[in-house]
Amino acid sequence: MRHVGQGYLPAQLYNLSSCYGNKEQLQSLTWTLNHVGIKPIADIVINHRCADVQNANGIWNSYRDDVHHYGRRIDWGDWAVCRDDWHFGGTGALKTGASYHPAPDLDHTNEELRAALKDWLQWLRHEMGFMGWRFDFVKGYAPKYVKEYIDAVSLGEALHLGEFWVDMRWFGNTLDYDQDAPRQVLCDWISASGTGAAAFDFPTKGILQEAVKYTQYDRLRDRDGRAPGLLGWWPQKACTFIDNHDTGSTQKHWPFPESHLGLGYAYILTHPGVPCIAWEHMWDTRLTFIIKHLMRLRKRQDIHAGSKLEILCADRTMYVARIDDRVVVKLGPQQNMGIMLPTSEQGWRLSLAGHDFAVWEKSATELPSGTSGDEPASGNAVSSEPNP
């Protein structure tokens, strides 16, 4: 079984030469990012590892270690593969999480294997310049091991993330309004991993895109008046996103409605949590202005993961929220905001408007050089008058 030209079926962990470049080029990139104050995060795929060699029975479960490196070797045998991963003939312990069928599942209960992985993380930190970890498929192994891997490498104020694609609650093809169960799963994982990592907020993504697709903006407030995803329960640990390489991009397993991507970013970039921007969206000419404008607004108004969120309205056709009393966002096709419309007399100015969204900020805020020229996309997106 051979690895392919991407990182989600890894084999030789220390071999960084691929169709994307080589070790030296990656080092140059990471150290440049660090120099300008950007902390690069490595995608850590350690639930599974593709073997390099077949055993006597033709099963791919033996590994080589072809690249010279310091620390423990990674030329493992079938002992490194979980024994309930029967397809790959493992002889290790039982899995501590879900199975990943395309590749051999690693036995994280094995101390030698964990020690080798921690040496590899140290190498990524000290030789390659990475400052944080994005743990792939964390449902595949116990969260206590995530804590151990984080604690093994001193990274200071680093951002660590776990990709736990939690199952949402559905009734047939209809998403349940109550998504407490999946967000509780994420909270439990964060707690069990020592609270050292945040989690990608799949519930918020799913709820927001259903609200957009079916004009059900009443989904965006739970029964306690809070945001309905992980964002509403533990915003400091909620990494909000609109799409990633699985849900959108070329795979499109669960894409956000393309017509409302701007609205999606208006939500996550004005709200608490830790927003994550899809690379392809950042450089999409239809979205670049919107995303950059919202990023500057977030920084200008000091919106952060723990900002105060007040949901003023969440009905079928309109959602209105105020954040830290410095930003107001309106989503949905309804234009009439009534008394909720921010006015200049109250100290507000319209900052940005687009398809089914508008954002205001306190006009008294001193704008940094280079941002005062941003103009809203539309000046007639909202009204205090009844709809005709």
Band the pLDDT of 385: cuts 50, 70, 90.
Answer: very low
**Cβ(276)–Cβ(134) under 8 Å?**
no
Predicted local distance difference test score (pLDDT) of residue 317: 98
- Would the pLDDT of 381 be above 70? no
Task: State pLDDT tens for residues 180-226.
Answer: 999 999 999 999 999 999 999 999 999 999 999 999 999 999 999 99
Average pLDDT over residues 306-332: 98
Give the pair of three-digit tokens for residue 125. Answer: 């930190």
Active-site residue among 78, 119, 136, 201? Answer: 136
Q: pLDDT tens, 64-123?
A: 999 999 999 999 999 999 999 989 999 999 999 999 999 999 999 999 999 999 999 999
Of the candidate ranges 7-11, 53-57, 60-64, 193-197, the one whose mean pLDDT is the lowest? 7-11
**What tokens appear for 37 in the block?**
């104050």
Residues 6+ apart with CB under 8 A from 123: 14, 69, 70, 71
**304 versus 365: which is more confidently predicted?**
304
- According to DSSP, residue 93 is labeled P
Cβ contact 259:238 at 8 Å? no
All residues at 6 or more sequence positions from 117 whose CB lies less than 8 Å from its CB, including other chains? 46, 149
pLDDT at 6: 65
Strand partners, 39: none
Q: What pLDDT, on a 0 to 100 scale, did the predictor assign at position 364? A: 58
On the 0-12 / 13-18 / 19+ scale of CB atoms within 10 A, 296 is middle
Q: What is the pLDDT of residue 382?
A: 56
Instruction: Kindly report, residue by residue over 237-259, the tens digit of the pLDDT.
Output: 999 999 999 999 999 999 999 99
Using DSSP's 3-state secondary structure scheme, residue 45 falls into coil
136 as an active site residue: the answer is yes
Cα maximum dimension of the chain: 80
CA-based nearest residue to 351, from 272, 285, 274, 289: 289
C-alpha to C-alpha distance for 296 and 301, rounded to whole angstroms: 8
| pTM of the full structure | 0.93
Question: In terms of residues, how long is the chain?
Answer: 388
Q: Count CA atoms within 13 Å of residue 131 on its CB side.
A: 15
- 374 has a pLDDT exceeding 90: no
Q: Could you say which of 163, 201, 356, 361 is catalytic?
A: 163
Nearest by Cα to 1 from 84, 69, 101, 92 = 101
